[in-house]
């Protein structure tokens, strides 16, 4: 693999589930050349459109031991063996030469939390506008013949979490193992940076508060594979990204599934537009020829509780 960014990660690990697709490919939400939009009290005309798909990878540090370039143990390596030693080794060392110790790779451990990360390369050029929907891959979940989605306690190396084991994952060694669902990471968004997106006003950072006053437990305002899966993006969660670093989103990937997640991607699917601002003279000229129809977009989203202001708050 000659791409520097490809040397420590695999690409499309599981692919798209059979029969899945992008539906109408976003045609119902896409702007078309000639459309007029209003953003920040300014009017723009869409001059051109291109489809855009971007994969962002999150990396975790995993402790493994190795024998003949194959994972054979370690704090993370032992529970990873149930996902397939050769497969895990290929993911952690796609270019070969896997070494023991702490390895950075695209497998997310059960306690992974990336914190909020801003990807500077997502900034469009001046005169361009992105409309991107976040999508997440899923991972199958199994139970064994006794109905346990956690492994039996013997042997200890493949036991319950209390005995050093992990949930069943891809382990199909037990008779009667059945798929029961899927797991994925959870994605939290701030857009633009510093402004929580799609959250409860009383808990913008997911703070549980005091249970004595009835606060909700857990973090809120996330996207997972059941909400917006790869292969079927949910346009309700799409983001408008403008030129300028202050307009970039920040993403936080959290794995609270108790599984090691083999695919750490965040896929952004949507469109790139070339837009040109209309002067008042141009707008007045259009209005003189008839009613001007335009779409209103809000790259800033809904203001958070801390930034709300105005007479209605007094």
pLDDT of residue 227: 92
pLDDT of residue 314: 40
HEC-encoded secondary structure of the chain: CCCHHHCCCCCCCCCCCCCCCCCCCCCCCCCCCCCEEEECCEEEEEEEEEEEEEEEECCEEEEEEEECCEEEECCCHHHHHHHCHHHHHHHHCCCCCCCCEEEEECCECCCCECCCEECHHHCCCCCEEEEEEEEECCEEEEECCCCCCECCCCCHHHCCHHHCCCECCCCCCCCCCEEEEEECCEEEEECCCCCECCCCCCCCCCCCCCHHHCCCCCCCCEECCCCCECCCCCHHHCEEECCCHHHCCEEEEECCCCCCECCCEEEEEEEEEEEEECCHHHHHHHHHCCCCCCEECCCCCCCCCCCCCCHHHC
- Which pTM value belongs to this model? 0.85
Q: For the chain, what are the domain ranges? A: 23-57+110-138+184-206+216-298, 59-107
Which of the residues in the chain have pLDDT under 70? 1-8, 10-12, 15-24, 145, 151-166, 171-177, 204-219, 303-314
pLDDT of residue 207: 57
pLDDT of residue 310: 43
């Amino acid at each position: 693999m000659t791409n520097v960014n490809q040397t420590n990660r695999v690409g499309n690990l599981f692919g798209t589930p059979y029969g899945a697709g992008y539906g109408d490919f976003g045609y119902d939400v896409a702007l078309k050349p000639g459309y007029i939009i209003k953003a920040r009290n300014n009017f723009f005309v869409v001059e051109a459109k291109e489809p855009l798909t971007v994969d962002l990878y999150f990396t975790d540090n995993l402790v493994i031991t190795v024998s003949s370039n194959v994972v054979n143990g370690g704090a993370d390596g032992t529970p990873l063996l149930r996902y397939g030693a050769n497969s895990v080794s290929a993911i952690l060392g796609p270019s070969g030469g896997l070494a023991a110790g702490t390895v950075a790779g695209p497998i997310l451990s059960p306690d992974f939390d990336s914190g909020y990360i801003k990807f500077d390369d997502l900034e469009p050029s001046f005169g361009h506008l992105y409309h991107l929907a976040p999508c997440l891959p899923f991972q199958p979940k199994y139970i064994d013949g006794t109905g346990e989605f956690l492994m039996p306690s013997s042997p200890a190396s493949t036991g319950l979490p209390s005995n050093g084991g992990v949930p069943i994952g891809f382990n199909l060694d037990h008779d009667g193992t059945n798929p029961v669902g899927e797991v994925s990471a959870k994605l939290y968004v701030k857009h633009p940076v510093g402004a929580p997106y799609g959250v409860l006003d009383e808990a913008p950072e997911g703070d549980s508060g005091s249970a004595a006053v009835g606060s909700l437990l857990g973090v809120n305002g996330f996207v997972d594979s059941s909400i917006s899966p790869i292969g079927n993006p949910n346009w309700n969660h799409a983001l408008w990204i403008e030129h300028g670093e202050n307009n970039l989103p920040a993403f936080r990937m959290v794995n609270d599934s108790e599984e090691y997640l083999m695919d750490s991607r965040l896929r952004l699917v949507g469109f790139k537009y070339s837009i040109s601002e209309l002067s008042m003279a141009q707008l007045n000229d259009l209005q003189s020829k008839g009613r001007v129809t335009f779409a209103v977009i809000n790259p800033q989203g809904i203001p958070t509780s801390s930034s709300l202001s105005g007479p209605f708050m007094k």
